[in-house]
């Protein structure tokens, strides 16, 4: 398998584990505050990663890699808090779609600027992937209230923040992946604690640890797959394929909760498969 194919394959693994993480986190959010689930997942996986790195006597990466990983972890957690705030303000469909699209589009534009334009087949796959992300994540709100402009603004800020995090992870992927992820988790844990202190959850603080640990472990594995994908191929390919993760969440919801996807989402998943095939060529 060529480098593009390997990168796209790892991107799919990342999307699958990220989708599983969001599914578990979504289930937990029905019983406990979402921020507590995310924070507990960050903190537990940070300690797990520290133990693994120290136990295996892994060499520390360069300060350059650690710095970019730390910034990525901190600003990515803040972007997540902004995203949750945007979702809480009104109709979620358009906000989530805008966030998902920008998460992939920002790294694509950065990659074109830094690496040049991709091959025609790759460019077609990237375009198909971006359209697939929109179809999968955007649920038209025909009867409910219109999405507030402020929610769209916050969603755009969150998507830009997530996209920047993917770029920073790429820039931090030159060293050891486990230490890089440990640095990101440490900074992300600090950011989540600060958010919770600034905006304490109003719901009871119970029943979040189990969901947080499982969601955090899956999210960490997805991050490691993504970091490896960026080492093997272009940033834009890895970012677009990884950003298809909502498809995994939707499929799990269909299998476990019998929440069937819409025709629009199924069309987006079919387009996503075609896009991945082009990106793997």
Q: Three-state SS for 158?
A: helix
pLDDT of residue 95: 79
DSSP state of 174: T
Q: Which stretches in the chain have pLDDT values below 70?
A: 1-4, 90-93, 141-147, 281
pLDDT of residue 149: 80
Long-range contacts of 37-40 (CB under 8 A, 24+ apart): 37/208, 37/211, 37/212, 37/215, 38/77, 38/80, 38/192, 38/212, 38/215, 38/216, 39/189, 39/192, 39/193, 39/195, 39/196, 39/212, 40/208, 40/209, 40/212, 40/213, 40/216
Q: What is the DSSP string of 202-262?
A: SS-S-S-HHHHHHHHHHHHHHHHHHHHHHHHS-HHHHHHHHTTHHHHHHHHHHHHH--PPP
Q: Which residue has the tokens 């995310």?
A: 38
Per-residue tokens: 241: 């394929």
pLDDT of residue 137: 85
pLDDT of residue 185: 96
Q: Three-state SS for 184?
A: helix
Question: Tell me: the pLDDT tens digits for 118-141?
Answer: 888 899 999 999 999 998 887 776
Torsion sign across C-alpha atoms 154, 229, 3, 179: positive
Spans of all domains in the chain: 3-280
Taking each helix axis from N to C end, the angle separating 3-29 and 263-280, rounded to the nearest 10 degrees, works out to 150
The Cα angle at residue 107 between residues 175 and 232, in degrees rounded to 5? 40
């Amino acid at each position: 398998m060529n480098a593009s194919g390997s990168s796209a394959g790892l991107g799919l693994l990342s999307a699958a584990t990220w989708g599983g993480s969001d599914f578990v986190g979504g289930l937990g959010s029905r019983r406990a505050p979402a921020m507590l689930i995310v924070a507990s997942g960050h903190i537990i996986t940070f300690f797990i990663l520290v133990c693994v790195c120290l136990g295996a006597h892994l060499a520390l990466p360069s300060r350059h890699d650690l710095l970019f990983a730390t910034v990525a972890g901190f600003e990515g957690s803040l972007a997540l808090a902004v995203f949750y705030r945007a979702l809480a303000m009104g109709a979620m469909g358009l906000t989530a779609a805008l966030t998902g699209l920008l998460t992939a589009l920002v790294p694509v534009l950065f990659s074109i600027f830094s690496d040049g334009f991709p091959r025609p087949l790759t460019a077609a796959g990237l375009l198909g992937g971006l359209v697939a992300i929109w179809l999968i994540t955007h649920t038209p709100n025909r009867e409910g209230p219109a999405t507030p402009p402020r929610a769209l603004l916050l969603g755009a800020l969150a998507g830009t923040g997530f996209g920047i995090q993917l770029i920073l992870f790429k820039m931090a992927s030159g060293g050891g992946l486990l230490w890089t992820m440990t640095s990101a988790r440490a900074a992300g844990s600090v950011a989540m604690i600060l958010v919770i202190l600034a905006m304490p959850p109003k719901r009871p603080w119970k029943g979040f640890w189990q969901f947080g640990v499982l969601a955090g472990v899956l999210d960490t594995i997805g991050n490691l797959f993504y970091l490896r994908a960026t080492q093997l191929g272009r940033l834009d390919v890895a970012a677009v394929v990884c950003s298809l993760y909502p498809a995994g969440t939707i499929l799990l919801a269909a299998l476990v909760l019998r929440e069937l996807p819409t025709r629009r989402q199924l069309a987006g998943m079919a387009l996503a498969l075609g896009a991945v095939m082009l990106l793997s060529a």
